[in-house]
């Protein structure tokens, strides 16, 4: 399995999500030593839980599976640039590499909680300065899951606006 294979799995997870209004179709796969240890999609609306992002749910699955809270050596694949919460959680989890598809500039601003802070800069400025970041893998395929920067999302699907 290559990075692209894992990202395609994340895209498949995103498509499986029950994305009702206000829910973003985000998929995430966690890989350790060449094995998929967790895969999840956004379930914020389904669970009525603002922290139920795909990345967080994948980390919870990994913790339950591995019986520990840190996953050094793990690679996190996400269809969209991780938000501040998931970036921070990745640092706490000791994840070694983050690979994401759609970049911030490719999607509507409503997918991000902050106007100015870019989570990539945030990750680079973290004390854990050895986390590798790879942006834009299958970027166009991933971006097609989301509203674009110029789109006008329906009112009941808007977030952060």
Active-site positions? 55
Contact between 86 and Zn ion by CB under 5 A: the answer reads yes
Q: How far is the CB of 98 from Zn ion (least distance, A)?
A: 12
Q: How far apart are CA 160 and CA 63, in angstroms?
A: 30
Contact between 41 and Zn ion by CB under 5 A: the answer reads no
Per CB under 5 A, the segment of 38-46, 49-57, 112-120, 142-150 that binds Zn ion is: 49-57
Residues 6+ apart with CB under 8 A from 85: 51, 53, 56
Single residue of 83, 95, 137, 145 touching Zn ion by CB under 5 A:
83
Single residue of 53, 102, 111, 147 touching Zn ion by CB under 5 A:
53
Q: How far is the CB of 86 from Zn ion (least distance, A)?
A: 3
In degrees to the nearest 10, what's the CA dihedral of 4, 10, 16, 19? -120
How many residues line the site for Zn ion (CB under 5 A)? Answer: 4
Q: In the chain, count of helices (H) and strands (E)?
A: 6, 5
Contact between 52 and Zn ion by CB under 5 A: the answer reads no
Per CB under 5 A, the segment of 5-13, 51-59, 68-76, 95-103 that binds Zn ion is: 51-59
75-80 vs 27-32, strand pairing mode: antiparallel
Would you report the helix, strand and coil content of the chain in percent, each value rounded to 5?
40, 20, 45
Contact present, 150 and 14 (Cβ < 8 Å): no
Q: How far is the CB of 141 from Zn ion (least distance, A)?
A: 20
Q: How far is the CB of 34 from Zn ion (least distance, A)?
A: 25
CB atoms within 10 A of CB 27: 29
Residues that bind Zn ion (CB under 5 A): 53, 83, 85-86
């Amino acid at each position: 399995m290559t990075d692209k294979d894992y990202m395609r799995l994340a895209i498949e997870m995103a498509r499986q999500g029950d994305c009702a209004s206000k829910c973003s179709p985000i998929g995430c796969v966690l890989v350790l030593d060449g094995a998929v240890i967790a895969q999840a999609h956004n379930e914020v609306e389904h669970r009525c839980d603002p922290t139920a992002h795909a990345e967080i749910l994948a980390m919870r699955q990994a913790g339950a599976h591995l019986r520990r809270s840190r996953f050094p050596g793990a690679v996190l694949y996400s269809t969209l640039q991780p938000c501040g919460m998931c970036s921070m959680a990745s640092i706490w989890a000791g994840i070694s590499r983050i690979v994401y598809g759609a970049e911030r500039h490719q999607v509507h601003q409503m997918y991000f909680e902050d106007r100015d802070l870019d989570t990539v800069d945030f990750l680079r400025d973290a004390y854990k300065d050895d986390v590798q970041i790879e942006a834009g893998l299958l970027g166009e395929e991933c971006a097609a899951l989301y509203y674009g920067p110029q789109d006008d999302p329906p009112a009941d699907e808007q977030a952060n606006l």
